[in-house]
Structure 1
Amino acid sequence: MSLHVENLIAQHFRKSVFKNQAVYIITLFIGVLLLYAAFSGWENYTNQNETSEKYQHESREDWLKNPDKNPHRMAHYGNFAFRKNTSLSVFEFGMEPFFGNAIYLEAHKQNIANFSEAGFSNSMLRFGEISIAMVLQILLPLLIFFLGFNSVAAERENGTLKLLLSQGISWKQLLLGKTLGIASVIMMLFIPTIIILVFVWLLLQNFAVSFDETVKMLLFIGFHFLYLLFFCAIAVLISASSKTSKKALISLIGIWLVFTIILPRTTQAIGAYIYEAPSKIKFNSDIEKDILKQGDSHNPNDPHYKAIKDSLLRVYKVDSVQKLPFNYSGFIMTEGERISSNIYNKHLEDLLEIYKKQNSFSKTVSFINPYIAMKNVSMGLSNTDYDSYIDFQKQAEAYRYDMAQKMNTLQIKYISNKKPGPNDKPLTIGKEHWADVQEFHYEPKGILAVLKSEIISIISIILWISLLFIFIKIAAKNLKAI
């Protein structure tokens, strides 16, 4: 099917748009914002990753420089896990400023990520930072509505709409032509933005990109393109169904406020209210209570661990732990670490289930709000969503548990049960064993995990695009020139 008529309508609309001086000013302003967003994203990415690399390296050196020591003391000395940003986080900050990027790892205790950007910033951060994704998802739709509110309504007001339709132009051609016209203006901002985005993305990775990251980038671009095209069509449909340009403008601003401001805030509040999560103090208190019910591994008279001691003495047919063929203290610490970790993981899974319900509520609302759907997909592809933060916590906890148990194993194997005398050298092992614990490296979620996590939002976007074609088809049959 030829699009000759639609192209002519689009060209005419584009020429008429730029007769308005305000369009040049607004377009220039948004262009400057996009450049600033790219620069601030670049600076944020490089600063955080350089800081993470620096302190991860220093933490590793500090660990390896420890002298000969008791392994249990090394387990309590601990280590750090740092999270590096992914390349797409340059364009979509997501929840990154509010999540910590470093966790202190130690035996018998699970800590949460700290040192978030919000923790070191003033209250202005709560209003959000300017990122390329924010400009694409919030400001460009507003510009689209500004360009398209009178696209058809003005034709109706000045009487040219009847003239166009009487010359054989169908409503479908008119709607598509106007949509293409708005899209062509927006592409003058979108395409240069994407070119800069791709160049920066390649530069950050030294032009050596993985297949996984390439797919994420292509999806990031593709979904934002569909998202903007959706708003172009909405602007034209509202304009075509409004009697005057004024009514169209008020309706479109109302839609923009509901989609980008009111619903996102309301959804978060309702989700947190329906699925209330325990406070940090209560969460930690419940864990401590359950651990104490199981027993205190540092208390030699604790009933649970005393029963373990008695059973070991019977099995090895000895009358004291000093006569056991392995280090008793290390064995008990291994058991204590296993119990405390299992209890923590159980409470964490319960907490994550609550957060999962909160997030599911928000994702379900994406069926009535394309902005929420787009935001979720964008954050998922950039690894700046809540699931990525939890994934970092889990990787760090797995590393912490492995570190603690390796130290306990070394204690069982190399440390004697006989306590040294007051003038004897403390029981230690050689510092070369510290290298047995590998350095922590965070692995971001792959594309398949992202798509699985954001499947509801993706389906929502597809449904919105499908509904759009249905709305255009219905409008083409039912709209009137007067």
Structure 2
Amino acid sequence: MKMEGFAAWQMLIKKELLLSYRNKTILISAVIIWLLFIVATVCTFLNYNTSHKQRLAANALFRQQWEHQQRNPHDAAHFGTYLFKPLNLLNVFDTGINDYTGNTYRIEAHIQHEISNNEAENNDTAMRFGNLSFALILQLLVPLFLLFITSTSITSEKENGTLKMLLAQGLNNRKIIWAKVWANYLLIVLIILPVFTTMVTAVLYSGDMALLLTKLLWLLITYLLYYLLIALLGVIISAASNYSGKALLSALCFWIFMSIIFPKIITGMANRSYPLMSRAAFSDLVEQGYRKGLNGKDPYAARGERYINSLLKKYHVDSVEALHFNIDGLTLQFNEDYRTKAFNHYFKEVENSFDQQQLFLSLSGVFDPFLSTKRLSMALAGSDFYHHEQFFKQAQAYRNQLIKKLNMQLAVHGKYFKGDYIVGPKYFGQLKDFKYHLPPLERVLQLEKIAIFSLTGWILILILLLQFIASRSLALNHTYV
């Protein structure tokens, strides 16, 4: 008897898939989604190839300029160079905040730059709507399509009078409801499967396979969980509604609130609750902290004089001329270190505001699974704020180390050199390039544990709610006209 019930349940799922295949509206919608995926694929890989080549060319150009210069080491520090945020295939799968946070870091002596040159700055369309990407389609359009077909899955049976026929064949409410869930869920899986197959193939043939493949599999798991959640929500709406029109309207309202209204409200609340210091105010604080000291009572001149006196005392000499190294190199590095100290001191306040905003958004995802999915997707793709922050910190550390190395070169070798101390390509060529290291997957998942718990928690709650609805015959009652 159990086998017969399971076989009947399987047949019901097959019937649902066959009906979906024959439904022109569903078929046309699926074709539109596939066409959008094709356009997104073309745009994604064209953008990736273009951006990747541009960054490689820019890196090669600045490296060539750096290696072939002949300058005083400190003058070379003023000349500086540029670092570019690396790009990988997952970044273009979900561009996240990358289009708005910039991709270029300027290295220059005495100045701590921020990351600049965001791609959306001069792109009004990107600023308003974002670029067409896999993530945009998977996060917004596919859930809307899934809600559209699931929210009418039971009401259509009620309106067509086929519900009583199914019940008469020995199927109970629970089997019918779960058949609707799994049939529509499998349909969506079949629709999105080519997308992830394409991405897996691209990653396998890329040079970053070891770093990206596991993250891509986690991305697939994330979206599969999200679509299961949406399928459950849509069937619940359908089971609780008497008419398809009402169910569709309810599903559309859920989608608009969950995907558009609530995220916008939460983002505004995060900005108002934890406002960021303006760039002008921050730069002024850093400059004042450097000129007057972090306590306001340690001016630049007195600080430098005290440092020179400490060096004279340390090496037991009476004048800077008696020192066995170039005092200019050390004082330049001393001032550089203090400026970096001032920058980091005031940047902690900015960083704290960013962290509070991110925590606020993470906690808000508990009330909106779309937010949790979006945050988890960006994190796994490496296009969230955490990865942006990691690039900045690694770039800043490289910059500080490079400036220090140049100043110490002047200090150690510039003492007894006649005229201006000049170094050439042999020295500059041996300086190492910047290497950005992606955070490990374990760290990313640890930071987004709230999003993971939110998605799984929502799924469990909806399963329990669906089971409760299925246990009550009133959920399937309908007055046939």
> Where does residue 389 of structure 2 map in the other structure?
390
> Where does residue 57 of structure 1 map in the other structure?
60
* 2:199 corresponds to which of 175, 197, 200: 197
CA–CA separation in structure 2 for the residues paired with 1:32 and 1:443: 36
Of 17-26 and 247-256, the range deviating more from structure 2: 17-26
> Where does residue 11 of structure 2 map in the other structure?
8
* Percent of residue pairs identical: 27
> Where does residue 440 of structure 1 map in the other structure?
434
Of 319-328 and 73-82, the range deviating more from structure 2: 319-328
- Report the residue type matching 2:212 in the other structure: E
CA–CA separation in structure 1 for the residues paired with 2:123 and 2:183: 42
CA–CA separation in structure 2 for the residues paired with 1:443 and 1:452: 18
CA contact (8 A) 1:80 1:105 kept: yes
1:431 offset after TM fit, Å?
4.2
CA–CA separation in structure 1 for the residues paired with 2:439 and 2:314: 46
CA–CA separation in structure 2 for the residues paired with 1:475 and 1:338: 66
Q: Secondary structure at the match of 2:83?
A: strand
Of 436-445 and 99-108, the range deviating more from structure 2: 436-445
Closer/same/farther in 2, CA of residues 229 and 38 from structure 1, 3 Å limit: same
Matches within 5 A, 1:365-380: 365-380=364-379
CA contact (8 A) 2:120 2:126 kept: no
The answer to whether 1:321 aligns with 2:288 is no
> Where does residue 461 of structure 2 map in the other structure?
467
Q: Under a length normalisation based on structure 2, what TM-score does the superposition of the two structures give?
A: 0.93
- Report the residue type matching 2:394 in the other structure: Q
**What are the Cα deviations for residues 84-125 of structure 1, in whole angstroms up to 9, with x where unaligned?**
112212311111211211111011211112222112323454
Q: Secondary structure at the match of 2:105?
A: strand
**What are the Cα deviations for residues 65-102 of structure 1, in whole angstroms up to 9, with x where unaligned?**
011x3211111111211111122123111112112111
Matches within 5 A, 1:19-418: 19-67=22-70, 69-205=71-207, 209-210=209-210, 212-294=211-293, 302-416=301-415
- After superposition, the CA RMSD in angstroms is 2.1
Q: Secondary structure at the match of 1:470?
A: helix
CA–CA separation in structure 2 for the residues paired with 1:37 and 1:27: 15
- Report the residue type matching 1:370 in the other structure: P
CA contact (8 A) 1:373 1:460 kept: yes
- Report the residue type matching 1:443 in the other structure: H
- Report the residue type matching 1:44 in the other structure: N
Q: Under a length normalisation based on structure 1, what TM-score does the superposition of the two structures give?
A: 0.93
**What are the Cα deviations for residues 170-209 of structure 1, in whole angstroms up to 9, with x where unaligned?**
221111101122123223311222222222222333xx72
CA–CA separation in structure 2 for the residues paired with 1:446 and 1:87: 17
CA–CA separation in structure 2 for the residues paired with 1:150 and 1:307: 79
In structure 1, stretches of 5+ residues that fail to align are none
Closer/same/farther in 2, CA of residues 219 and 124 from structure 1, 3 Å limit: closer
1:222 offset after TM fit, Å?
1.3
**What are the Cα deviations for residues 138-172 of structure 1, in whole angstroms up to 9, with x where unaligned?**
10111112212221112223333233234331221
CA–CA separation in structure 2 for the residues paired with 1:223 and 1:194: 12
1:276 offset after TM fit, Å?
0.8
**What are the Cα deviations for residues 371-402 of structure 1, in whole angstroms up to 9, with x where unaligned?**
11111111111101111111111111000000
CA–CA separation in structure 2 for the residues paired with 1:311 and 1:366: 54
1:438 offset after TM fit, Å?
0.7
CA–CA separation in structure 2 for the residues paired with 1:443 and 1:247: 51
CA–CA separation in structure 1 for the residues paired with 2:309 and 2:186: 80
CA–CA separation in structure 1 for the residues paired with 2:346 and 2:172: 62
1:349 offset after TM fit, Å?
2.3
Closer/same/farther in 2, CA of residues 89 and 4 from structure 1, 3 Å limit: farther
Closer/same/farther in 2, CA of residues 253 and 394 from structure 1, 3 Å limit: same
- Report the residue type matching 1:116 in the other structure: N
CA–CA separation in structure 2 for the residues paired with 1:90 and 1:308: 49
CA–CA separation in structure 1 for the residues paired with 2:160 and 2:80: 75
Of 448-457 and 385-394, the range deviating more from structure 2: 448-457
CA–CA separation in structure 2 for the residues paired with 1:10 and 1:329: 79
CA–CA separation in structure 1 for the residues paired with 2:331 and 2:430: 21
CA–CA separation in structure 1 for the residues paired with 2:376 and 2:314: 57
* 1:455 corresponds to which of 432, 449, 453: 449
CA–CA separation in structure 1 for the residues paired with 2:138 and 2:26: 17
1:310 offset after TM fit, Å?
2.7
CA contact (8 A) 2:107 2:113 kept: yes
1:315 offset after TM fit, Å?
4.0
CA–CA separation in structure 1 for the residues paired with 2:390 and 2:311: 38
CA contact (8 A) 2:154 2:238 kept: yes
CA contact (8 A) 1:8 1:177 kept: no
Q: Secondary structure at the match of 2:50?
A: helix
Q: Secondary structure at the match of 2:148?
A: helix
Give the total of aligned pairs: 470
CA–CA separation in structure 1 for the residues paired with 2:428 and 2:373: 46
Q: Secondary structure at the match of 2:362?
A: helix
Q: Secondary structure at the match of 1:291?
A: helix
CA contact (8 A) 2:203 2:213 kept: no
**What are the Cα deviations for residues 408-444 of structure 1, in whole angstroms up to 9, with x where unaligned?**
11111011279x6xxxx32334542223421112222
- Report the residue type matching 1:204 in the other structure: S
CA contact (8 A) 1:328 1:417 kept: no
